[in-house]
Amino acid sequence: MSETSANGPLADLVVVEMGTLIAGPFCGQILGDFGAEVIKIEDPRTGDPMRQWGRSLPKGLSPWWPVIGRNKKSVGVDLRTPEGQQIARDLIGKADVVIENFRPGAMEKWGLSYESLAAENPRLIMARVSGFGQTGPYAQRAGYGLIGEAMGGLRHVTGEPDRPPARAGISIGDSLAAMHAVMGITMALHHRARTGQGQVIDAALYESVLAVMENLVTEYDITGYVRERSGSILPGIAPSNAYPCANGEMILIGGNGDNVYARLTEAMGRPDLKTDAKFASHAARGENQQELDGIIAAWTSGFRLADLLALLEAKGVPASRVFRAPDMLEDPQYAAREAIVTTDHPVFGPIRMQNAFPKLSATPGRVRWPGPALGEHTDAVLKGLAGYSEEKLAALRGKGVISPSP
């Protein structure tokens, strides 16, 4: 593997991450996965709250932090002090990208507006991730991911029709905002390569959710139809559902295309379902969705999951178990593509986590190290990038502006 390939396509970039929780840090995680030097500025006393988030804290540490903090260098700086703000300015002055997900106005309050930073570093790209964007009447409102999911339309269509709106089980709104910020950064880098000028990426959570809501708005605009919660189905798309198996497990089957549906009826031994006028076309199957799902469920319930998966695979019908973490760790497809990798953690030992995605043929991303200890890289970064002397570091440390010596 070449040095370029080993380091990733973004190995020449310096990124300063100033965000907390998920939306900003997941953006930094992706950039770090592909080789960028991501310098994470954290409160020297508490660090990012993600260090303590999660269902459990084995050995007093969050299993979440090794993932979202991976491939980053932690620098403990108190941004509420003038000295801390100057440190941030010194680091950003040498950076290509700065990421922040504070409430709009926080950077300006600290004297770190884009205009002032760009005056010293015209090539700087700033990604600003927030609940509602940097402008508009809602800009100053607090906006977590669930609020963006609600306003963007996702929550209303998620869950069973006779129950309140459900959540996806992950912080999808935050992650979508981070991914849109990454897209904006890569576009801005391309623009900078042509013009030499940086710019601001304004990634709002609610707009990032809205962006993936397919034709929800347009369908209402044209027809007046308001999409509602539909559980595990898509109305009018059949068969495409979760069906019961004999051993109490569920199988997902996607057989709504005409050719695939024909193969499904063959697997079922029910050629009549292919010619029956109620199911013979895509539109007809959609109109009679509930009846068709009932027929398929009665058939699947007579099989054990593994046997049914083998049968449907042999017939070329898309089907899957509902994967959980144990299934992922045992699955040959995951193993063959290294979708999950092992990295060494100083406290947990070898730990497994999802790999860097997507896969690039010449310059793939990789997990170089898990989330670091709070302030682990403070001295090294401030010496190497900002040119601070030992005396200056000692003075800042004495005032509590930066993390103690590791």
Q: Are 91 and 395 in contact (CB under 8 A)?
A: no
Residue 378 to residue 388: CA distance in whole angstroms: 11
Residue 144 to residue 252: CA distance in whole angstroms: 32
* DSSP conformation letters of 60-106: GS-SSHHHHTTTEEEEEB-TTSHHHHHHHHHHHHT-SEEEE-SPTTH
Identify which of 52, 86, 82 has the alpha carbon closest to the alpha carbon of residue 69. Answer: 52
Strand 319-321, strand 250-254: pairing:
antiparallel
Q: Are 326 and 53 in contact (CB under 8 A)?
A: no
Alpha-carbon Rg of the chain, whole angstroms? 25
Catalytic residue among 174, 202, 307, 379: 174
Per-residue CA distances from 53 to 21, 22, 57, 63, 367 (Å): 9, 11, 8, 8, 21
Neighbours of 47 (CB within 10 A): 21
Q: Which DSSP helix (H) or strand (E) runs through 353?
A: strand 349-354
| Torsion sign, CA atoms 164, 325, 367, 62 | positive
Query: DSSP state, 163?
Result: S
Task: Say how far residue 60 (Cα) sits from the centre of its chain.
Answer: 25
What's the burial of 52, exposed, middle or buried (CB within 10 Å: 0-12/13-18/19+)? middle
Neighbours of 235 (CB within 10 A): 12
One-letter amino acid at 297 equals A
Per-residue CA distances from 329 to 79, 143, 305, 351 (Å): 41, 35, 18, 12
258 is catalytic: no
Q: Are 347 and 52 in contact (CB under 8 A)?
A: no
Tokens of 41: 């500025």
Q: Are 25 and 179 in contact (CB under 8 A)?
A: no
Catalytic residue annotation: 174
